[in-house]
Amino acid sequence: MKRLDGRTAFVTGASSGIGRSIARALAVEGARLLLAARRLDRVDVLAEEIRAAHGLDVLTSSLDVRRQPDVEAMVRALPPEWAAIDILVNNAGLSRGLNKFHEGLLQDWEEMLDTNVKGLLYVSRAVIPGMVVRNRGHVVNIGSVAGREVYPGGSVYCASKFAERAISKGMLLDLNGTEIRVTTVDPGMVETEFSLVRFHGDESRAKSVYLGLTPLTPDDVADAVVYAITRPAHMNVAEMVLMPTCQAGATVVSRKG
């Protein structure tokens, strides 16, 4: 008997990095998975890997969390055996640019706020009412140290993650009295495609973010998510802050060499 046998988990942003690792880690624990991202080809490859390794049911969906009607339609159209989502991991997110505020690009700002804030709201609003009816569920939101400290060039990304933390707290308050748990997992530097996306595909600039240090891996974050989800029902891990040992704050990082 595995710890998440029979549970249905929905992971957004499962095509890369932290979301992909969370999907794999939940599969190890026996959860059946609903995996979504815009790049369906990548999600399908992951689903096939998980089916082959664990013999689990995996359903995939091409989803842009910024499109509210699509989010609602996807959740409404779930086959009955998938409709009772027990675990929602709001992971889909991104940063764009590291410009000074007065040089920020409106398109970058809109993409970050639409994805990290409104996307999280749309998915949560579609899924949580079912949890309330069943009086059962766990929502894990992926925040960031950027939701706790603002850093130069990060005003809008940080604002989106401050919002994520406010929304997590709001969920916790409004779901109080139900059996539904809410966790925010707030990592520091994790080596994924995050910096490549932030710097619009500039590989050398993205690599330089992690030079001379040992960042967290996506598996480290997935491990923390599994920890939170597998606590006994009476215990809610409300907040987790994870940083690589070399990082003491959003901008305090010790590099070697």
Residues 130-149 that bind ligand 8X3 (CB under 6 A): 144-146
Which region among 2-10, 26-34, 68-76, 192-200 touches ligand NDP (by CB under 6 A)? 192-200
- What tokens were used for 164? 């994520």
If one asks whether residue 247 binds ligand NDP (CB under 6 A), the answer comes out as: no
Catalytic residue list contains 157: yes
Residue 6 exposed, middle or buried by CB count within 10 Å (0-12, 13-18, 19+) = exposed
Q: Which of 47, 65, 224, 243 binds ligand NDP (CB under 6 A)?
A: 65
125 binds, among ligand 8X3, ligand NDP, none (CB under 5 to 8 A by kind): none
123 binds, among ligand 8X3, ligand NDP, none (CB under 5 to 8 A by kind): none
Q: Do residues 86 and 8 touch, judged by C-beta distance below 8 A? A: yes
Residue 42 exposed, middle or buried by CB count within 10 Å (0-12, 13-18, 19+) = middle
Q: Which of 8, 124, 192, 247 binds ligand NDP (CB under 6 A)?
A: 192
Q: 224: Cβ–Cβ under 8 A, 6 or more apart, which residues?
A: 185, 187, 240, 242
Minimum CB separation of residue 146 from ligand 8X3 in Å reads 4
Q: CA 152 to CA 164: how far, in whole Å?
A: 19
The overall longest dimension of the chain from CA atoms, in Å, is: 56
Residues making contact with ligand NDP (CB under 6 A): 12-19, 37-39, 63-66, 91-94, 115, 119, 142, 144, 187, 189-190, 192-194, 197, 218
